[in-house]
Amino acid sequence: MRSERFLPIAVLLQGLLAVLAMLPCSLRSEPQRPIVMVTGQPETSFEGKWQRLAYQEAFRRLGLPLEVELMPAQRVTAMVDSGAVDGQFGRVLAYGDTHPEQVRVDEAFYEVGLALWASNPALTLSRLQDLPAANWIGVYRRGVELCQRSLSSLVPADRLYSVATEHDAVRMLMAGRVDYLCEIDAAVQNALHSPEFKDAAVRPLFMIGDRIGIYPYLAKKNAELAPRLAAVLKAMKAEGVLERFREEARGK
């Protein structure tokens, strides 16, 4: 008789468990959503390897899973502006002025120098203002806004190409289709690090301005993450971790 008295309670508990099982996923414990960061650098390039090593460690320290997606520089901007992804690995300081939907992480990942590069040893030029008189043909990588702004006011459109990757640009330079390349030094080193251009003789004609910091940017929805990521990157610099990853990416 006593077991029959407690039977309705057992049935009630079974019913409660069934209801809990049907609750929406948002009300139950779930694995943490990964942070999706995008880059224009493939994993096989020097810079791409370095980025992935460094940011995997940075987000590990933050306790956040990380996914990395590869896409062209122009699409990177659109995807982060719209909030379709969580952020991107690197842009210059001034980039944020024209992209209010993105939040800069106020700790530079590294610094780069912008330059005009040539492969023809006969070509010489010492400053950007002399470029129009040279009547040369140039190329830059789409998405490198500093090159676009610097050159478009000096060079006629029919003497200036834009291409998708630094490898395309160096390929045109080595084939003699263009006289010079406007690009940051890290991207040129990316190309020269690849087997295709291992013995390529590419040199800077001159630097354009001072060295500039490259900063991570996050979609505005992730604004609270920015100071945390900045603190982690600063600590990794102080510990020498970023430099160690850089040498590892170079294969040293």
Question: pLDDT grade, residue 92 (50/70/90)?
Answer: confident
Residue whose structure tokens are 């024209």: 98
Distances (CA, A) of 184 to 62, 91, 92, 117, 143: 30, 11, 11, 9, 12
What Rg value do the Cα atoms of the chain yield, rounded?
25
Dmax over Cα atoms in the chain, in whole Å? 106
CATH number of this structure's domain 114-207: 3.40.190.10
In a 3-state reduction of DSSP, which class is residue 37? strand
Length of the chain: 252
Written as one letter, the residue type at 109 is F
Query: Which CATH fold topology does 35-110+212-250 show?
Result: D-Maltodextrin-Binding Protein; domain 2 (3.40.190)
Query: pLDDT tens for residues 123-149?
Result: 999 999 999 999 999 999 988 888 998
Query: pLDDT tens for residues 142-199?
Result: 888 889 989 999 999 999 999 988 999 999 999 999 999 999 998 898 888 888 988 8
Q: Among residues of the chain, what percentage have pLDDT more than 90? A: 66
Residue 20 is predicted with a pLDDT of 46
| pLDDT at 1 exceeding the cut of 60 | no
Structure tokens at 151: 């050159």
Residue 22 is predicted with a pLDDT of 52
Contacts of 19 (CB under 8 A, 6+ apart): none
Residues of each domain in the chain carrying CATH 3.40.190.10: 35-110+212-250, 114-207
| pLDDT at 65 exceeding the cut of 80 | yes
Structure tokens at 77: 């901007």
In a 3-state reduction of DSSP, which class is residue 225? helix
Question: pLDDT grade, residue 28 (50/70/90)?
Answer: very low
pTM: 0.68
Residue 16 is predicted with a pLDDT of 52
Nearest CA among 120, 112, 89 for reference residue 102: 89
